[in-house]
Structure formats: structure tokens, C-alpha cells
Amino acid sequence: MTQPPETPHSRKVLHLPDEAATEALARQLAPLVDGRAGVPPGGRIHLSGDLGAGKTAFTRALLRECGIRGRIKSPSYALLESYKISSLYFYHFDFYRFSDPREWLDAGFRDLLRDDAVVLVEWPERAGELLPPPDLLIALDYAGQGRDAALTAYTARGQTWLNAIIPPPSMQAPPPAGA
């Protein structure tokens, strides 16, 4: 029996001491989503966290590493920024301004959630349960001067990505309090 899509496959927590560590994490994922690592290109990454937690910084670094040149804008007002490298499409959504989960459906975005495109969604919780589960959820939380990044795989593709991430010692999560 297969797991329902809402059930996480596994989870990894990394400590990102600064923005450079956030960018390094994005650079590790880039060849996995754009096909350079020998896996099929595409996939969905959802990014959650408070304002300023690093969602857009992560996305910009990933897009740069995938070969996107020029200005990479935050889609906070436009809701969507799209890019194309060769035959691979990249869609960067920001649902922060949504007040109703159905707004992303009304905007016609469902058709862009293709397996053969790289789909990055900031503030996915604003779309509620209407948004399909991601391959990988990256939840960024403030941790002192840095961030803790909880990476949760929801699909076999996401699990492949999670297994490929080798954090340097500076990204190892601190032991739980009282351990």
C-alpha cells in the first residue's frame, strides 16, 4: 500500500547560520530540480516561514544556480514570476496576499503545477488544502541570528532530493534542548 500524499516520507532539519548557508542549500538542490544531477527535471518546492525568514533568498539562489540571468523579482504583488531555461519552465508563486484559499484557483494557476516544471511556492498555507502536496516542503524558522530549515519530503522525488543533501558542519541542526 502506498502512503497518501499528505504523509511525509521523511524529514531533515538543518541550521542555516546566515544567508550564505541558505544560498548554499539552494545550490545543492538546483542540479536536482533542473536535471543536471541525472534525475528528471521539475518538481514542486513549498517554502513556509515568517516574513524575512529567507524564502525569497532561497528561491533567488536556486534560480540563479539553475541558470536564470537578469533580475529575479519577488512575486509578492504579481503573484507569479515565470522563467524558462531551454525547455524547462520555472514558476515562482507568492500567495502571501491571498485571503481565501480559492484565490489561486480563480487566478488559473492550477495548470502551471506541472511535474515537468520547477514550481516554487511561497506561503503555500494561504492556498489551504486545495494546493497539491509538494515534493519538498522547506519550513524556515528564526533561530538566533540564523534560521532552522525543516525539509520534509512528501514524494519519492522529494525523498531523492532530501537524500542528496549533504549539509556541511555549519548546517547541522543543534541537538534538541535537554539532550
Cross-strand partners of 47: 122, 138
Q: What is the pLDDT of residue 8?
A: 72
Provide the whole-model pTM: 0.84
Nearest-CA neighbor of 113 among 135, 88, 137, 132? 132
Which residue in the block uniquely carries the three cell numbers 532530493? 161
- 3-38 tens-digit pLDDT: 334 677 889 999 999 999 999 999 999 999 999 998
pLDDT (tens digit per residue) in 135-165: 999 999 999 889 999 999 999 999 999 999 9
| Cα gap 142→97, rounded to integer Å | 22
Q: Model confidence over 102-131: pLDDT tens digits?
A: 666 666 666 767 778 999 998 888 777 778
Top CATH class, 10-169: alpha beta
Residue 141: its pLDDT value, please?
93
